[in-house]
Structure 1
């Protein structure tokens, strides 16, 4: 654990340097690392200790650059959303939301290849009311994953903020969210001693990072600042997608298999002990089959099932979905090792 803490400490300083240069993203860099050290449910708590400390220290360093107009539009709508997100963390798997976040980060890839001229021509500032939507979405996602990071950096860039203003305004917008999240996570029991120590390690590293990065920012042009920001979004998205996908596959026991017959190809996708069968035949096209229980059958087929049941050792049921057709049902009836199939 000592080696992990040292590596996390050094990695956090580097991550928050990159975060300040890019206008955000340290949280999304640290999530895959914390996922290796902690259960998913307590990662947001550990991460939030660090991001709260980072926001406070950045406000202290860059307070004169805060855009208060954006602050007063953003914060009132983000607070109820973060309450909702933090409450839902007990009921939904945060890994799936992290996967969606990763996708939205990766779609920033085309921004990396835009020239300075094209950016000036194509980018228009968002209207102020967009801050209501951004604030709500940022609060909700932050409440579940513990991070906002680079996901909303694009919006700050489109509002025409300079690099120091982005760093300062983001910190001011998010400091209240992080404090509320910490209170909620503790009240819901979504923490552990290990998560606390790792969070404190991140906190100390963020303070060092915030007070040293002010010597780096003046050497970056606004154009380079934006390009680094978009690049960090894409890289963080790829890292998050790979790490989260592996965790989802392990947790939900996802597997794929394919078999080829003379006139059809059948692929089986297993997820949480449920098999989804994707079948392609030249005469019928694509079909998706899902195993079901008897109580999921329509009433007239329940009667058929009850009539068949005494005559067979076991009966497996599948619901078949075909494009532009009503769902069909298949009965796989076994008697003394012999299979009889009924399609209705």
Structure 2
């Protein structure tokens, strides 16, 4: 019964993920943790998101911005390997709080229709990709953290999804190899990862059908909303750490 609930949840979450440019990992992590345990969440999500990204690449192949992908390629590999290396030995609580605050701050960046003061260029994605890949390897998922950069860069909704998915395949494949090397990809992890992955691939197809009916402006709005929601969820998940920080500050 738990597995069925996780698969139903995955189907809904990955449809929403297609419409919002990502963030499936943050929404699905609590459900997956109930079934496989907290420590197995990161490798399970790497497998399932890698599979869903494969279907997105197939559906949005003609929209992929290969120039951006080229800038992201080396930094994604390096960052994800370094993050996976520290996965077992480093507490990620404070990092998740920081990422949550960054995601919530997106609402202030895009609350008006003015162009951001700082224009993102293609080469900027290399250092940003390194940091995001490292954080993803370390804590399992960072949500749509780079979506504000994609929006600032000025690409279409289809191009955002396709380019992000192509980079996600690279990111999660590297993470899977790294997790396997350190012994985190067990038979159970592989089973749940593939089951959720297959479900996500079906969900992405239905998500694309819905995506075709919404405008670029509305897509931009729901992407920003999803980033803020992802940040709130991340802060809520680590609320005990937030309270501890406040108590330490007050004392």
TM > 0.5: yes
* Cross-structure match for 1:214: 208
Is 1:55 aligned with 2:49? no
Q: CA deviation at 1:193?
A: 4.2
Q: CA deviation at 1:277?
A: 8.7
Distance 2:191 2:142 in 1: 22
Query: What is the RMSD computed on CA atoms of the aligned residues?
Result: 2.3
2:83–2:138 Cα contact (<8 Å) kept: yes
* Cross-structure match for 1:28: 26
2:76–2:133 Cα contact (<8 Å) kept: yes
Distance 1:9 1:180 in 2: 25
Distance 1:226 1:40 in 2: 32
The 5 A counterparts of 1:182-221 are: 182-221=176-215
Distance 1:244 1:37 in 2: 20
Distance 1:268 1:159 in 2: 40
* Cross-structure match for 2:62: 64
More strand by share: 1
Q: CA deviation at 1:255?
A: 6.6
Aligned to 1:214, the other structure's residue is in SS state helix
* Structure 2 segments unaligned to the other structure (5+ residues): none
Q: CA deviation at 1:192?
A: 4.1
Q: Deviations over 1:75-134 (max 9, x none)?
A: 1112111110000112102333222221211111225632xxx33x44653123311111
Structure 1 residues 87 and 110, CA gap change in structure 2 (3 angstroms)? same
* Structure 1 segments unaligned to the other structure (5+ residues): 257-266, 270-275, 279-344
* Cross-structure match for 1:93: 91
Q: CA deviation at 1:38?
A: 3.8
Distance 1:13 1:123 in 2: 38
2:76–2:170 Cα contact (<8 Å) kept: no
* Cross-structure match for 2:138: 144
Equivalent pairs counted in the alignment come to 251
More helix by share: 2
Q: CA deviation at 1:230?
A: 0.8
2:3–2:35 Cα contact (<8 Å) kept: no
1:32–1:244 Cα contact (<8 Å) kept: no
Structure 1 residues 175 and 245, CA gap change in structure 2 (3 angstroms)? same
Structure 1 residues 268 and 210, CA gap change in structure 2 (3 angstroms)? closer
Aligned to 2:88, the other structure's residue is in SS state coil
Distance 1:127 1:113 in 2: 22
Q: CA deviation at 1:242?
A: 1.1
Aligned to 2:229, the other structure's residue is in SS state helix
Q: Deviations over 1:20-67 (max 9, x none)?
A: 111111112112333334443321101011110011111111111100
Q: Deviations over 1:246-288 (max 9, x none)?
A: 4x59xxxx879xxxxxxxxxx975xxxxxx992xxxxxxxxxx
1:162 aligned to which of 152, 156, 163: 156
Give the structure with higher Rg (CA).
1
Aligned to 2:209, the other structure's residue is in SS state coil
Distance 2:110 2:32 in 1: 28
1:49–1:203 Cα contact (<8 Å) kept: yes
Q: CA deviation at 1:8?
A: 1.1
1:41–1:89 Cα contact (<8 Å) kept: no
* Cross-structure match for 1:108: 106
Structure 1 residues 217 and 200, CA gap change in structure 2 (3 angstroms)? same
